[in-house]
Amino acid sequence: MRKYFILLCLMPLITVAQISFEQKMKAMPVVQMANGVTLTIDEPSINVKKPSKVVLYALPNGNTTAQTFGKKLAKGDDWHYNIQHIGAQTQFVRNTDSKYNYIIIYVENSLKSWPQWRRQTANADQLINKIVDSIYQRYQNLKPHITLSGHSGGGSFIFGYLNAQTTTLPSYIERIGFIDATYAYETEKHQQKLVTWLKQPNKFLQVIAYNDSVVVYNNKPLVSPTGGTWYRSKLMANDLGGLKFEENLMQLAWQNKSGRTSFTLIKNPDGKIFHTVLVERNGFIDLLFKGTKLAAKNYRFWTEPVYQNFILE
Specify if 7 maps to a domain.
Answer: no
Percent of the chain past pLDDT 70, that is, above it, reads 94
Q: Calculate mean pLDDT across residues 284-302.
A: 97
Specify if 250 maps to a domain.
Answer: yes
Distances (CA, A) of 71 to 19, 106, 174, 308, 312: 12, 15, 29, 10, 5
**Residue 13 confidence (pLDDT) above 50:** no
* Mean pLDDT computed over every residue of the chain: 94
Give residue 15's pLDDT: 33
Structural domain span for residue 233: 21-310
Please provide the DSSP assignment of 3-54 as one string: HHHHHHHHHHHHHHH---HHHHHHHS-EEE-GGGEEEEEE-----TTS-EEE
Specify if 154 maps to a domain.
Answer: yes
Specify if 13 maps to a domain.
Answer: no
Give residue 312's pLDDT: 98
115-135 pLDDT tens trace: 999 999 999 999 999 999 999
Give residue 124's pLDDT: 98
Band of pLDDT at residue 9, cut at 50, 70 and 90:
very low
The residue with greater pLDDT, 147 or 2, is 147
Choose among 281, 244, 276: nearest CA to 260. Answer: 244
Give residue 82's pLDDT: 97
- Reading phi first (left if > 0) and then psi (alpha if -120 to 50, else beta), residue 192 is in alpha
Sorted by sequence, the CB contacts under 8 Å of residue 193 that are 6+ apart come out as 162, 165, 167, 168, 169
CATH code for the domain of 288: 3.40.50.1820
What is the domain count for the chain? 1
Specify if 8 maps to a domain.
Answer: no
132 within 8 A of 146, measured Cβ to Cβ: yes
Specify if 4 maps to a domain.
Answer: no
Q: At what angle do helices 229-240 and 187-198 cross, to 10 degrees?
A: 50
Specify if 203 maps to a domain.
Answer: yes
204-253 pLDDT tens trace: 999 999 999 999 999 999 999 999 999 999 999 999 999 999 999 999 99
60-81 pLDDT tens trace: 999 999 999 999 999 999 999 9
Give residue 283's pLDDT: 98
The 3-state DSSP class for residue 64 equals coil
14-44 pLDDT tens trace: 333 569 999 999 999 999 999 999 999 999 9
Specify if 12 maps to a domain.
Answer: no
Choose among 280, 284, 253, 279: nearest CA to 266. Answer: 253
Q: Calculate mean pLDDT across residues 293-313.
A: 97
Q: How far apart are the first and last CA of the chain?
A: 34
